[in-house]
């Protein structure tokens, strides 16, 4: 089982800790605020209130042996950078760190962390790309000019199979999953829809009008496909 340390339990950090834990990851949740630790202790493997800049305290709870560490501290830049520095000194693999501005991002880059998380910048790019066309519901930048996007099935593709459309050859994108809405009747007798995800789409799967394709490809390929 993978073990990941989440340091800083604000809204961002606690959401990451909850999500990782739900996915079966062994989470070590850390914050100097005892109330935040108390709030999350029942949802993670370990929850402790310590100073994350204290190397001895981190080693005492096994942070030096985790598979990855995510520094989510956002309200104290000094604590964020010092914590990241301590993790590097301890030899922690796969360090992810949150940056609140460009200067902090540059410092983290100089420290050679594995991934710099700039929420404001990444969300801005995501929203802007999603607004480029009405077909794109979500657009997540990956790396080297590639993205993951959720795209409504174009009307001309409804009723056709994935094999028939040949999206990889024609548009140079890969479908990794399909979101579908399944009609159901609630306990009160009302008609509703339940969302399911087909995470192993087959060549002969037929696309329906309410489907949303989850695709991966270059930014240019996704843009061309969504037009």
Predicted local distance difference test score (pLDDT) of residue 225: 79
pTM: 0.61
Mean pLDDT for 5-21 is 91
214 touches 138 (CB < 8 A)? no
Q: Which residue has the higher pLDDT, 181 or 42?
A: 42
Which residues have CB under 8 Å from 208's CB, separation 6+?
153, 158, 159, 180
Specify the 3-state DSSP secondary structure of 172. coil
pLDDT at 134 exceeding the cut of 60:
no
pLDDT in tens, 63-98: 999 999 999 998 898 999 999 999 999 999 899 998
Q: Which residue has the higher pLDDT, 156 or 45?
A: 45
pLDDT at 126 exceeding the cut of 70:
no
User: HSE (CB half, 13 Å, CA atoms) of 37?
Assistant: 14
**Tokens read off for 138:** 């979500």
122 touches 188 (CB < 8 A)? no
Predicted local distance difference test score (pLDDT) of residue 129: 56
Domains of the chain: 3-117 (3.40.50.720), 126-226 (3.30.70.1450)
Spatial separation of the C-alpha atoms in residues 100 and 176, rounded to whole Å = 32
């Amino acid at each position: 089982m993978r073990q990941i340390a989440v340091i800083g339990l604000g809204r961002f950090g606690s959401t990451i800790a909850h999500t990782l834990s739900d996915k079966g990851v062994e989470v070590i949740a850390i914050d100097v605020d005892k109330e935040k630790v108390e709030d999350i202790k029942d949802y993670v493997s370990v929850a402790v209130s310590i100073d994350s800049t204290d190397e001895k305290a981190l080693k005492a709870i096994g942070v030096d042996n985790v598979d990855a560490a995510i520094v989510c501290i956002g309200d104290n830049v000094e604590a964020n950078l010092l914590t990241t520095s301590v993790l590097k000194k301890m030899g922690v693999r796969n360090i992810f760190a949150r940056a609140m501005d460009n200067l902090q991002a540059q410092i983290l880059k100089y420290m050679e962390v594995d991934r710099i998380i700039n929420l404001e910048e990444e969300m801005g790019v995501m929203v802007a790309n999603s607004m480029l066309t009405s077909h794109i519901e979500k657009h997540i930048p990956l790396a080297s000019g590639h993205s993951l996007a959720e795209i409504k099935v174009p009307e001309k593709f409804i009723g056709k199979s994935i094999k028939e459309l040949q999206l990889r050859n024609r548009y140079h994108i890969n479908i990794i999953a399909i979101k579908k809405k399944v009609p159901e009747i609630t306990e009160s007798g009302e008609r509703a829809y339940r969302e399911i995800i087909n995470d192993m789409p087959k060549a002969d799967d037929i696309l329906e009008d309410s489907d949303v394709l989850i695709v991966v490809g270059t930014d240019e390929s996704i843009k061309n496909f969504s037009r």
